[in-house]
Amino acid sequence: KKKTYDRHKNARCRTDDYTSGVQCGTTNHDYYYDGHCDYNKHSDFRSLDECKYKCDRWSKCVGFEWNENSDICEIWIELSAKGNTKKANNAECWWVEPEEKNYDRHKNARCRTKDNYSGVECGTTNDGVCDYKLYWDLNSLDECRNKCNGCCSGMPCVGFEWNENSDKCEIWFKDNDEGNTEKANNAECWWVEPEEKNYDRHKNARCRT
């Protein structure tokens, strides 16, 4: 699908907590879903259009930053739910605009796995296998939902959980066919509703490669 962007001139991209972010390859873990890096840095692009093209074509890209003085292109893979930026001359930050999803909303409930388990938080295991990513720095249910709308194209968000008492947001990655939940006060679980597929039907035929 074609991406649309929120363009910020004379600005650099920033994380949810307004830090400059972690460059991939500078930590022991480069998996975007583990939260150990925020962007890939490229110094071999010659124009803003080339930087944008890289983001357009890469499913994991949620935004990019281009500096016309240094010809440095940062391809961001960790979404800033607020589209944060910092003023800077000769730079531009382009955030991919989240695509609105349809949800099945469960009030007073927490999200659970297919086997009704609480799930594994990303970044807490060595093998990178996880069910959800935890955020403590979002201010509202809307910000949590925006995180899911735009999160991590290479590992799509299939739902989110918001706790209004603790301002805790869980972004779920693993698909839950049954939309399992567990009763809990002050929490909501929103499962993404499956997108209807279109089919090309062939009668009196078997599928072949």
Q: What is the mean pLDDT of residues 100-107?
A: 90
Residue 83 scores a pLDDT above 60? yes
**CB distance 32 to 59 below 8 Å:** no
The pLDDT score that the predictor gives to residue 94 is 95
| 71 confidence band (pLDDT: 50, 70, 90) | very high
pLDDT one-digit tens code per residue, 8-19 = 999 999 987 788
Of 152 and 64, the structure prediction assigns the larger pLDDT to 64
Percent with pLDDT over 70 in the chain:
88
Cα dihedral sign for 33, 173, 20, 49? Answer: positive
The pLDDT score that the predictor gives to residue 151 is 64
Comparing CA positions, the residue from 130, 117, 133 lying closest to residue 35 is 133
Comparing CA positions, the residue from 45, 44, 51, 99 lying closest to residue 76 is 51
- Neighbouring-strand partners of residue 132: 121, 172
- Name the burial class of residue 157, with classes exposed (0-12), middle (13-18) and buried (19+) by CB atoms within 10 angstroms of its CB: buried
Q: What are phi and psi of 118, to 5 degrees?
A: -75, -15
The pLDDT score that the predictor gives to residue 20 is 87
pLDDT one-digit tens code per residue, 160-194 = 999 999 999 999 987 666 688 999 999 999 999 88
Lowest mean pLDDT among 32-36, 69-73, 142-146, 186-190: 32-36
The pLDDT score that the predictor gives to residue 19 is 84
The pLDDT score that the predictor gives to residue 33 is 42
- Residue 4 to residue 188: CA distance in whole angstroms: 29
The pLDDT score that the predictor gives to residue 30 is 45
Q: What Cα–Cα distance (Å) separates residue 117 from each residue in 46, 65, 78, 103, 172?
A: 49, 39, 26, 21, 13
The pLDDT score that the predictor gives to residue 53 is 95
The whole-model pTM stands at 0.60
Residue 25 scores a pLDDT above 90? no
Q: Supply the mean pLDDT for the chain.
A: 85
Of 153 and 82, the structure prediction assigns the larger pLDDT to 82
The pLDDT score that the predictor gives to residue 176 is 66
Helix (H) or strand (E) holding 48: helix 48-57
